[in-house]
Amino acid sequence: MTRLSVNINKIATLRNARGGHVPDLVKAAIDCERYGAQGITVHPRPDERHIRYRDVYELKPVVTTEFNIEGYPSRKFLELIAEIRPAQATLVPDPPNALTSNAGWNTIRHADFLKEVIAEIKSYGVRTSIFIETDEEMIYRAADSGTDRVELYTEPFAAQYPQDPEAAVAAFIKAAQAAHKAGLGINAGHDLSLENLKYFAQHIPHLLEVSIGHALISDALYFGLENTIQLYLRQLEL
């Protein structure tokens, strides 16, 4: 079964909008796990507009499932990974002012840089994943970087899905096949939701993990957090 990692950035955004400690991010992470989530994802950004670096340290002792830390591999990020030693570090090519992750790595242009940072992260005993689009050459070159996994950037799938599901998923099937052939594990994330997750998971071979935040937390406003996590888990029961 594909694992569900809940990205709790949006909970931190809500807290930061008012200040203080409500909602309690640590409690939210504990509750997500208690309700069935098989991982917790955070993405600290340089401006700390949602997850703060302090949050990551506070989450470390309470996350009992897989802790996944996403981010651009700056020196500060790499130092955080060295200290926290999460289960997985997911590398994204975001500039500091990016609103959200909206592109995958160019694994040809950044080949030397990725090899260097991935070697460093793996020296800490941390699994690596890199955010990537469906270009098969980029995926094969990702394998050359030494990464353990790739995370398929699924916004294009989500955007096309309502009009033509079959066409929307086609490139992702080929990408997953290429990644598996290259010896890479396959994660996916960005704009996956209750509307499209089941179809995606049914069609993508060897899918190990999905990371979902915005849609899941938004659904929780209507359905409640426990019920929402169970609804998402059901989409992955293939």
Instruction: Give tens-digit pLDDT for 192-207.
Output: 999 999 999 999 999 9
The whole-number average pLDDT for the span 30-38 is 98
Domain boundaries, the chain: 3-235
pLDDT for residue 101 is more than 90: no
- pLDDT in the model for residue 132: 97
Answer yes or no: 209 catalytic: no
The per-residue pLDDT for range 47-99, each reduced to its tens digit, is 899 999 999 999 999 999 999 999 999 999 999 999 999 999 999 997 655 54
Question: Would you state the pLDDT for residue 181?
Answer: 98
Given pLDDT bands bounded at 50, 70 and 90, which one contains residue 103? confident
What's the whole-number mean pLDDT along residues 230-235? 98
Mean pLDDT for 30-51 is 96
- Cα 228 to Cα 226: distance, rounded to the nearest angstrom: 5
Question: Confidence class of residue 130 from pLDDT cuts 50, 70 and 90?
Answer: very high
Could you tell me how far CA 110 lies from the centroid of its own chain? 20
Average pLDDT score, the chain: 95
Model pLDDT, residue 98: 53
Question: Which among 33, 15, 16, 32 has a CA at the least distance from the CA of 24?
Answer: 15
Q: Which of 43, 66, 133, 203 is catalytic?
A: 43
- Give the residue from 187, 107, 190, 115 showing the smallest Cα distance to 150: 187
pLDDT in tens, 154-167: 999 999 999 999 99
Q: Which fold has domain 3-235?
A: TIM Barrel (3.20.20)
50 an active-site residue? no
Catalytic: 43?
Answer: yes
Query: Regarding beta strands 127-132 and 88-91, do their DSSP bridges make them parallel or antiparallel, or are they unpaired?
Result: parallel
User: pLDDT band at residue 218, thresholds of 50, 70 and 90?
Assistant: very high
Number of separate helices (H) and strands (E) present in the chain: 11, 8
In the set 33, 66, 70, 133, the catalytic residue is 70
Q: What local confidence, expressed as pLDDT, does residue 96 receive?
A: 58
How far is CA 31 from each of CA 15, 46, 72, 84, 88, rounded to the nearest angstrom?
A: 16, 27, 28, 21, 21
* Catalytic choice (66, 133, 151, 190): 190
